[in-house]
Amino acid sequence: MIQPQAQVHELVEHLFRHEAGRMLATLSRVFGLENLDLAEEVVQEALLQALRQWPFQGIPDNPRAWLTQVARNKALDLLRRRASLRRKERELEQQFAARQSAVAATEPSGAAVLGDEQLAMIFACCHPGLLPDAQVALTLKAVSGFSVAEIARAFLAEDATIAQRLVRAKRRIREAGITLNLPPPAELSARLDSVLQVIYLLFNEGYSAHAGENLVRQDLCGEAIRLACLLIEQPATALPRVHALLALLYLQAARLPARVDSDGNLLLLAEQDRGLWDQDLLQRGLRELEQSAQGEEISTYHLQAGIAALHATSPSFADTNWPSLLGLYDQLLSTAPSPVVALNRAIALSMVHGPEAGLQSLDELGADPAMRSYYLFPAVRADLLRRLGRTDEAAACYRHALACPCTEPERRFLQRRLEQLAAVVERNHAAIRT
């Protein structure tokens, strides 16, 4: 049965966004993380094959199973051609058969303990034999299907740095004989911090994608929330910092409907229609924040959720309690210093003590290498200069920001701000001439 090309493209794009990560996790589990690049390659090839075949042969009853089977066969074909792995062919066949029939001892127990195979894979990838940054980078690639470039942007690092981190992690896996097995329930908490960081970065990429046509990827935000909810359901992982992370995700997700206008253009917090914020998600977030207050633990997620809650409960941008926000950013910067936190603190500082104070804080931050290609750094500087009436300097900063990687909505926003400054300069010159 011939299928409309547009329908097939839409379905394959949906599967790429929602299922590619799971397929990659499945193949990585079977063929080993040392073959992660191969798994990524065959998943992409399977999706391309679907685009070629489904319009003429029809969409299969179970598209994900079809894609997984095609990717599995392509992987086996490639491995057969590698002389050093030919002797493992029977073993690979048996491993995959065991997985498909769900009789492998570690996998059902992992899914049973956590209630979700993908979450079990995240815990398995966050192996204590790997450095924490390597755990997170490897998990984002093997389980969530992130590219090297996406992981690099999440860490504000160079692509080459992340590529080397992944190479070293895979080398460590081979040399130490690390296997992707889920730890016993009693040991889950030891890996929890890395798992939470993966979920946090997954949400962040969805909330504000670092490249592409769309600012927001709701599929990634929804997946991060789903995984955090699963952690809350397990006694071993339902800890205050997990409630705090889920509170943060809910509070941030509540603002998604107002982040862009009907044309997909970025709207800053001051420009957003707060009536569009999802009140149900806001209430869920505030309830989770209350739950996170059990005990004495105060994690970075508590502080970030507190910041999000202050924004969420402010009646307007002008009425935001900026001194309290600045205090929370001070605590966050002291607890977990990072250039992004310092940048956000500079914004809060400018709202409390004026744009000159914000600029001084940015000057101190400017030496950080992570800020060199991060578009928000020159964009924030441009806004502070604009508020001070230093339009020429502000325009130069906006041009610098436009030269940095960002999404198309962000690029359009920067271009609009640059054009607005140009109009102000022209009016000023006209006033002088008259």
Give the pLDDT of residue 119.
82
Note whether 13 and 86 are same-domain residues: yes
What are the tens digits of pLDDT across the range 38-86?
888 898 899 999 999 998 888 898 998 899 899 999 988 888 776 555 5
CA-CA distances (angstroms) from residue 405 to 153, 246, 372, 400? 9, 29, 11, 11
Counting the structural domains of the chain, the total is 3
Note whether 26 and 78 are same-domain residues: yes
Distance CA(302)–CA(293), nearest Å, equals 8
266 inside domain: no
Give the pLDDT of residue 156.
82
196 inside domain: no
What are the tens digits of pLDDT across the range 395-428?
999 999 999 988 888 899 999 999 988 887 777 6
DSSP summary character for residue 182 = P
Give the pLDDT of residue 399.
95
What are the tens digits of pLDDT across the range 148-164?
888 888 888 888 999 99
Note whether 17 and 80 are same-domain residues: yes
273 inside domain: no
Note whether 394 and 346 are same-domain residues: no
Note whether 360 and 391 are same-domain residues: no
Note whether 383 and 359 are same-domain residues: no
Exposure b/e, 207-242, CB count within 10 A at least 16 = b: bbbbeeeebbbeebbebbbebbbbbeebeebebbbb
409 inside domain: yes
| Domain of 432, in residue numbers | 378-434
Exposure b/e, 7-40, CB count within 10 A at least 16 = b: ebeebbeebbeebbbbbbbbbbbbbbbebbebbb
Name the strand (E) or helix (H) holding 85: none
Note whether 35 and 72 are same-domain residues: yes
What percent of the chain has a predicted confidence (pLDDT) above 70?
86
235 inside domain: no
40 inside domain: yes
Final residue before a domain boundary, out of 72, 104, 136: 104
257 inside domain: no
Give the pLDDT of residue 104.
42
Query: 337, 335, 342, 311: which is closest to 324 by C-alpha?
Result: 311
Note whether 66 and 84 are same-domain residues: yes
343 inside domain: yes
pTM above threshold 0.95? no
Note whether 41 and 75 are same-domain residues: yes
Final residue before a domain boundary, out of 104, 122, 140: 104
Structure tokens at 177: 């004989």
Note whether 400 and 365 are same-domain residues: no
In which residue ranges of the chain is pLDDT below 50? 102-112
Final residue before a domain boundary, out of 81, 104, 127: 104
What distance, in Å, lies between the first and last C-alpha atoms of the chain? 73
Distance CA(315)–CA(228), nearest Å, equals 28
